[in-house]
Amino acid sequence: MTFLLDTLNFGLLSGGFGPKEIWEAATPFNKGIIIILLFLLALQIYMAVERGIMYFQSSGASRKFLKLFMETLRRGDFEAARRAATTHNKSHIALVLKHGLDIFQYEKQLKALNENHDVIQPVERAIARGTAEVTELLKKGMGTLATIASASPFIGLLGTVWGIIAVFSDLKTKGAGDINALAGSIGEALGATALGLIVAIPAVWLYNFYTNLQDKTITNINNAASQMIDEFIRRESQS
């Protein structure tokens, strides 16, 4: 174990396997692999920032919206409730509840023409449709993150296999030569796998992190929608 650690420290300190050396020693094919992996890393960072900003804005807007919306709803001030949803349109909860509120008011107009008309069921269907639409918005980019997480190690492994094939091809034509040069070439080939793992590991974490936020957001939407429907049912029972 001590020998392996000393060898690793020597390699790192000597700079023999640094990013610059790996790039300069890489075959044209492996340079293409490195460019692809770096592109996937940049795409992953962009998606992490974009999703993070979206959830941050939605969470802040939802807290403000829910307090105002429920208060106005209990007072029966539907116009104020709609304005609250329009003002806090960054909230995914507001998008769904506003849709349900609009349908409720429309169905109330129909009930004025027919006393037996069911108001609640259309609202429930509208909320189900709105929740499905919001779920699709929340899923944006998640498939790409999952693909980056699963494909990056294999892309890196392809670069390593190609590099090792090139090493053995040189051995066949030029002979063993210096064993240190051989070790360096293999180490540079393995750098592609290392880069693939560097790209994949955070992608797995980000996918799980945003999936949990997505589930939490959907749960909050369902809870808020349930409270709104309960308020509608209460009003219908009193009318």
Token pair, residue 170, equals 């040189």
Q: Residue 68's closest CA among 81, 56, 55?
A: 81
The structural domains of the chain, with segments of one domain joined by +, span 21-238
Return the residue matching tokens 């693939």. Answer: 196
Per-residue pLDDT, averaged over 27-56, amounts to 92
Q: Count how many Cα atoms sit within 13 Å of the Cα of residue 177 in the half-sphere of its side chain.
A: 14
Number of CB atoms found within 10 A of residue 195's CB = 25
DSSP at 89: T
Per-residue pLDDT, averaged over 103-113, amounts to 84
What distances in angstroms separate CA 88 from CA 14, 59, 85, 97, one per listed residue? 56, 11, 5, 12
Q: What is d(CA 192, CA 159) in angstroms, rounded to the nearest whole number?
A: 5
pTM of this structure = 0.80
Token pair, residue 10, equals 């020597």
Of the candidate ranges 106-115, 128-137, 178-187, the one whose mean pLDDT is the lowest: 178-187
Does 231 score more than 50 pLDDT? yes
- Tell me which amino acid residue 38 is: L
**What is the CA 9 to chain-centroid distance, rounded?**
36
Q: Tell me the pLDDT tens digit for each residue of 149-187.
A: 999 999 999 988 888 887 777 676 666 555 555 665 676
